[in-house]
Amino acid sequence: MKPATRAIAFSVVALFVISGCGGGSDGSADANMAAVDEDSPEFAAMQYRQGLMHVMGYKIATLRDMAEGTIEANDAVFVKYAADLATAAHMLLEGFEGMDASSTDALPGSGAFPDVWSNWDDFAQKAAELQAAADEVNVAANAPGFTVTAESAEPLGPVCGNCHRPYRQR
């Protein structure tokens, strides 16, 4: 995807999320959302983790696109995005902690399978692997003489889908 197209798509998604636009006649994501307590800690946690996932997805896609040559490599932008991603990856578990499987039952559109909480140790391990990969990319990007190469985003490849397959509804 071209940078301009990605920026437009990201803006549309952000506006959708911010404005509460969706398919429901009341402007909600769907008719079931009307029953959701939008002031609940569970709803706030869901919004937090979904927003964080969007940020991480955008940063990872840009890092990969630069490394693969799909978009023009910019060392300074790569360094910044690598730092942003490392920070975001370390914030990930905050949106899941203190919740349980029943937390997602009351949140249509959560996207998280109840297995997140019933297999917490595995989920936390996979999050730690993402954090380690993001840290590795960040450290490499901040090394003296860094230049974006095809291998620059390589550590992220194997860890991105580790959580999505078993713990995220499509």
* Confidence (pLDDT) at 111: 78
Residue 20: pLDDT band (50, 70, 90) is very low
Alpha carbon 16 to chain centroid, angstroms? 17
Residue 160: pLDDT band (50, 70, 90) is confident
Please tell me the distance from the alpha carbon of residue 160 to that of residue 151, in angstroms, as a whole number. 16
* Confidence (pLDDT) at 84: 98
Please tell me the distance from the alpha carbon of residue 10 to that of residue 136, in angstroms, as a whole number. 26
The CA distances from residue 160 to 28, 154, 157, in Å, are 29, 11, 6
Instruction: For residues 141-152, give the mean pLDDT.
Output: 97
Q: What are phi and psi of 24, to 5 degrees?
A: -75, 150
- Kindly tell me if the per-residue pLDDT of 99 is higher than 50: yes
Residue 72 DSSP code: -
Strand, coil or helix: what is 112? strand
The most confident of the ranges 52-61, 97-106, 109-118 is 52-61
Paired tokens of 144: 């003296």
* Confidence (pLDDT) at 124: 92
